Amino acid sequence: MSNTRLAVLTLLAMIAFAGNSLLNRLALNDANIDAASFTTLRLVSGAIMLWLVVQIVHGKHSNRIGKGNWLSATALVVYAAGFSFAYISLSAAMGALILFGAVQATMITHGLWLGERLRGLQVIGLLLALGGLVGLFLPGISKPPLVGSLLMLLAGIAWGVYSLRGKGEGDATRVTAGNFLRAVPIALVLNLLMFQHFSLDSAGFWYAVASGALASGLGYAIWYTALPALKSTTAATVQLSVPVIAAGGGILLLNEDLSLRLVVASVAILGGIALVILEKKAA
């Protein structure tokens, strides 16, 4: 794969991941759709898109699409549902930052649990990231809503678990397709439980479908195409751009404010995580 193609695919994937935040925020605030319905439509459309990708890429071997498992599918639903419900109250930038911080914290904690040891700069980076997260929730007018923040933290932990469970399971696109397919009936149960809050209009429907088919399904397929050609450190650090892209999109497309608290917390959290990742590579 040429460097130009790799860079374009990586950029498209990061834009797609940030786009999930923007589409979710748009749907829940500017359209008439409830969070449970958004979650279900996102997973259904994502499953369809990934199924099509597997059919096209793997052809006659696409019957192996069933790879995946129910525990990973459950983690996927917890992530998608927590993500959607959190965006009822969080801004696109705030949600993306909390999500990314929670995902990375889950991955780092898992490594420590397995016996990994942090070097000097990694410890500083971890403390810096934790300080940024604590600062985000200190009392003040720009403090993010507690319920939405907790839901996004849960979503981030669930996505971290999902990512850890996916390591070494083979073709990532096929495995993800299998997990999306398994996630659909679980999401439908959630929809039934939340039926009293059901609401849906055409704008909300298409935002959810775009989030599932394009930002999720196609986004993951593009990312998994680029990922084998990226060094692990590059793959980890390039994802630091997702909250930044989401923040820019929120300002330009959603007229969201960029508070000083969010800027300082972003620098601390993303900078701290970058130190942990880059120092690990150096080690």
For residue 281, tell me if it sits in a domain. Answer: no
The domain of 199 spans 3-121+145-254
For residue 129, tell me if it sits in a domain. Answer: no
For residue 139, tell me if it sits in a domain. Answer: no
Q: Tens place of pLDDT for every residue, the chain, 283 residues? A: 687 888 899 999 999 999 999 999 999 999 999 999 999 999 999 999 999 998 887 665 555 555 778 999 999 999 999 999 999 999 898 899 899 888 888 888 887 787 777 777 778 888 888 888 788 777 765 678 889 999 999 999 999 999 888 776 678 888 999 999 999 999 999 999 998 999 999 999 999 999 999 999 999 999 988 888 877 777 777 888 888 899 889 888 888 887 888 888 888 888 888 887 776 655 5
Specify the pLDDT at position 78.
Answer: 97
The candidate with the shortest Cα–Cα distance to 142, out of 84, 91, 82, 98, is 91
For residue 244, tell me if it sits in a domain. Answer: yes
Reading the block at residue 27, the tokens are: 């749907």
For residue 279, tell me if it sits in a domain. Answer: no
For residue 18, tell me if it sits in a domain. Answer: yes
For residue 27, tell me if it sits in a domain. Answer: yes
> pTM of this prediction?
0.88
Q: Which residues contact 247 (CB under 8 A, 6 or more apart)?
A: 92, 93, 96, 97, 258, 262, 266
Residues 219, 173: contact at Cβ < 8 Å?
Answer: no
What is the Cα–Cα distance from 98 to 48, expressed in whole angstroms? 29
Count of structural domains, the chain: 1
Give the number of residues written for the chain: 283
Percentages helix, strand, coil for the chain (3-state, rounded to 5) are: 85, 0, 15
For residue 246, tell me if it sits in a domain. Answer: yes
